[in-house]
Structures are given as structure tokens and as C-alpha cells.
């Protein structure tokens, strides 16, 4: 999924040296705002978080 640019600093950017980055390298259409949903811990400060789904997923 793609985190809305206005939220990326609150959510946190992708760490390019971890397993999440390894998995995302196989996804099509990733951007600098791409994250795996399971890697975004939900907390009160993210109330109202805007996420965008890619057009295609596998």
C-alpha cells in the first residue's frame, strides 16, 4: 500500500535494509511511500491515516 505523503513522517519511511524492503522489491508499482500494511503499527496518533491501494496486487 502507499502511505499518503502527508502521513509518511508519522508512519515512518521504509527501512531499505530490512525484510520489508526485500519483500517489496517483488511488488510492482512501488514508490517511496510504499509500505507493507502489516509493518505499520496502529496507534492513536495515526487516527485519520490516509492510505492508497495499488491498482494491482498479487
Q: Where along the chain do its domains lie?
A: 2-52
pLDDT tens profile 9-53:
999 999 989 999 999 999 888 999 999 999 999 999 999 999 999
Q: Write down how long the chain is.
A: 58
Cα–Cα distances in angstroms (integers) from residue 20 to residues 4, 7, 53, 56, in the given order: 18, 19, 17, 19
Q: Which residue has the cell 515512518?
A: 12
Contact 5, 33 (CB under 8 A): yes
Residue 58 in this model has a pLDDT that exceeds 70:
no
Amino acid at each position: 500500500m502507499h502511505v499518503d505523503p502527508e502521513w509518511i513522517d508519522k508512519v515512518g519511511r521504509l527501512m531499505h535494509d530490512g525484510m520489508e524492503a526485500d519483500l517489496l522489491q517483488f511488488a510492482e508499482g512501488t514508490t517511496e511511500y510504499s509500505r507493507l500494511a502489516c509493518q505499520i503499527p496502529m496507534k492513536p496518533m495515526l487516527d485519520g491515516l490516509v492510505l492508497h491501494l495499488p491498482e494491482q496486487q498479487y
